[in-house]
Structure formats: structure tokens, C-alpha cells
Amino acid sequence: MGQNETAHAPTDDVSGETEEFDPIGTLTLIAIYFVILVLSWVYIYYIEFLGRDLVVVG
């Protein structure tokens, strides 16, 4: 069943080669992305959008 992910990997297949995997690097990257997202949003919404002429009021 080498080509089939229904193949049930024996449990020791994983634990044998590594300890508990902790994706700390991934969480760091995502945290950095979030900071960029929030800063960009503040800029684009509050400075670019609300700072323009002819704001629609109704």
C-alpha cells in the first residue's frame, strides 16, 4: 500500500523516529504574518480609505 494513505502507519512508525513534534517555527511565522496584516489593515482603512475626499455618508 505504498501509494495509499489509507495505509495505517503503525503507531511506532512515527514515534520511533522523532519525539513529539512542536511546530514552534510555524507559529512564529504566522505571528509575524498577523502583525503585518494588522498594520497593513490599519494603514489601508484608517489612513487611505477614511482619509479620502467624498466619504459616502448615505
Partner 1 sequence: MSEAIEAEQTFADKFPEEARIVRAALLGSFLALTLGAIFGIIQTLHRTGVFRGLIDSTDYYTSLTAHGVFLALSFTTFFLVGLFTWAVVRSLDRPLLNTKITWTWYGLMAAGMTMTGVSILAGFVDSIDMSADVLFTFYAPLQAHPMFYAGLAVFIVGSWIAGADYFRTWLAWKRENPDERIPLQTFMVLTTMAMWYIASSAVAASVLIFLLPWSLGLIDQVNPTLTRTLFWFFGHPVVYFWLMPAYLLWYTVLPKLAGGRLFSDPLARVVFVLFLLLSTPVGIHHQYLDPGIAEGFKFISMTNTMFLLLPSLLTAFTVVASVEYGARQRGGSGLLGWLTDLPWRDPAFTGMMLAGLMFAAGGFSGMVNAGMNINYMIHNTIWVPGHFHLTVGTAVALTFMAATYWLWPQITNKPIYSRTIGLVQVVVWFIGMALMSNAMHAQGILGVPRRTAEPEYSGFDYPTMFGGFEELNIQIAIGGTLLFVSTVLFIGNLVLTMGNPKVSGLGDPIPSALSGPDDSPKVLDNLRLWVGIALTLVVLAYALPLAAIIQRGGLLGPGVGTYPVWLAPLLDALANAAATLLGGIADASASLAEVVG
Partner 2 sequence: MFLLGSVTYGAVGPGVAMVSDTEPTVDAGALDEDERFSEPRVEQVGEDEYAAYVVARQFGFQPDPIVVPANSTVTFYVTSADVIHGFEVAGTNANTMVVPGEVSEITVETDEPAEYGLICNEYCGAGHHVMEGKVNVVSQAEFESSGGDGE
Is 10 a residue that touches partner 2 (CB under 8 A)? Answer: no
Give the per-residue contact string, 21-50, with partner 2 (x = CB under 8 A; - = no). -------------x---x--x---x---xx
C-alpha–C-alpha distance, residues 28 and 22, integer Å: 12
Report yes or no: 1 and 7 within 8 Å, Cβ to Cβ: yes
**44 touches which of partner 1, partner 2, none (CB within 5 to 8 A by kind)?**
partner 1
Report in angstroms the alpha-carbon separations of 21 from 18, 32, 54.
7, 21, 53
Residues that bind partner 2 (CB under 8 A): 34, 38, 41, 45, 49-50, 52-58
